[in-house]
Structure 1
Amino acid sequence: MAVVNDTATAPVIRQACSGYRAEGAQARAGIILALPATLLLGALVIGPAVLVLVLSFTDASLGLAGMRFVGLDNYARMLSDPGFALSLHNTALYVFAVVPVSIGWGLLVALLIARSRLSAVYRTAYFLPVAASLVALATAWEAILHPSLGVANTLLQLFGGSPVRFLSDPTMVIYALAGVGIWQLVGFNMILFLAGLSTIPEELYEAAAIDGADRGLKRFLLVTWPMLAPVTLFVTVMTVIRAFSVFETVAVLTQGGPMKSTTVILYTFYEEGFRFFRVGYASAIAVSFFVFVTLLSLIQMRLSDRRAGARTRRGRS
Structure 2
Amino acid sequence: MNAPVALSDASDKRSEAIDVPFLAVTPARRRALAEALAALTLAGPAAFFLLVLFFLPVTAVFVIALTDWRFGAGALSFVGLANFREVFADATFKTSLVNTIVYALIVVPGTVILGLLVAHVIESGRSCRSFYRAIHFLPFMATLTAMAIAWEALLHPTIGLINQALAGIGLPTANWLRDENTALPILAVIGIWQNLGYAMVLFLAGLKSIPQELYNAADVDGADLWMDRLRTVTLPMLGPVTMFVVIVVALRAFQAFDSVKVLTQGGPGHASEVLLYTLYRESFEYLHTGYGAAIAVVFLAIVVALTLVQVRFMDTKVHYQ
- For Structure 1 versus Structure 2, the TM-score category normalised by the shorter chain is 0.7 to 0.9
Q: Please show how residues 272-311 of structure 1 align to structure 2 within 5 Å.
A: 272-303=282-313
Deviates more, 1:163-172 or 1:267-276: 163-172
Match of 1:94 in 2: 103
1:25 and 1:205 map into 2 onto residues whose CA distance is 49
CA contact (8 A) 2:239 2:320 kept: no
2:91 and 2:62 map into 1 onto residues whose CA distance is 23
Letter in 2 for 1:131: M
1:35 and 1:71 map into 2 onto residues whose CA distance is 35
Match of 2:53 among 44, 49, 52: 44
1:231 and 1:34 map into 2 onto residues whose CA distance is 27
CA deviation profile, 1:251-304 (whole Å, cap 9, x unmatched): 011111122211111100000100111111111111111122222333344456
Assess, with a 3 A threshold, how the Cα gap between structure 1 residues 221 and 261 changes in structure 2: closer, same or farther.
same
Normalised by the length of structure 2, the TM-score is: 0.84
2:67 and 2:294 map into 1 onto residues whose CA distance is 9
Match of 1:73 in 2: 82
Letter in 2 for 1:284: A
Deviation at 1:201, TM superposition (A): 1.5
Q: Does 1:195 align with 2:205?
A: yes
Match of 2:258 among 248, 257, 273: 248
CA contact (8 A) 1:58 1:70 kept: yes
Match of 2:173 in 1: 163
Match of 1:114 among 123, 127, 130: 123
CA contact (8 A) 1:130 1:188 kept: yes
Identity among equivalent positions (%) equals 42
Letter in 1 for 2:116: L
Letter in 1 for 2:239: A
CA deviation profile, 1:110-137 (whole Å, cap 9, x unmatched): 1111131222211111110001111111
Deviates more, 1:172-181 or 1:24-33: 24-33
Deviates more, 1:238-247 or 1:92-101: 92-101
CA deviation profile, 1:177-205 (whole Å, cap 9, x unmatched): 11111111111111122222122221111
CA contact (8 A) 1:168 1:258 kept: yes
Assess, with a 3 A threshold, how the Cα gap between structure 1 residues 35 and 237 changes in structure 2: closer, same or farther.
closer
Deviates more, 1:130-139 or 1:67-76: 67-76
Residues paired across the two proteins, number: 309
Higher-Rg structure is 2
Match of 1:134 in 2: 144
CA contact (8 A) 1:95 1:240 kept: yes
Assess, with a 3 A threshold, how the Cα gap between structure 1 residues 32 and 111 changes in structure 2: closer, same or farther.
closer
Letter in 2 for 1:92: I
Deviates more, 1:227-236 or 1:262-271: 227-236
Match of 2:273 in 1: 263
Match of 2:5 in 1: none
Assess, with a 3 A threshold, how the Cα gap between structure 1 residues 20 and 267 changes in structure 2: closer, same or farther.
same
Deviates more, 1:169-178 or 1:270-279: 169-178
Deviates more, 1:264-273 or 1:39-48: 39-48
Match of 1:232 in 2: 242
1:238 and 1:115 map into 2 onto residues whose CA distance is 26
Match of 2:221 in 1: 211
Deviates more, 1:111-120 or 1:37-46: 37-46
1:177 and 1:296 map into 2 onto residues whose CA distance is 22
Letter in 2 for 1:73: A
Assess, with a 3 A threshold, how the Cα gap between structure 1 residues 22 and 221 changes in structure 2: closer, same or farther.
closer
Letter in 2 for 1:79: F
CA contact (8 A) 2:155 2:176 kept: yes
RMSD, aligned α-carbons: 3.3
Unaligned runs of 5+ in 2: 1-7
Match of 2:67 among 34, 43, 58: 58
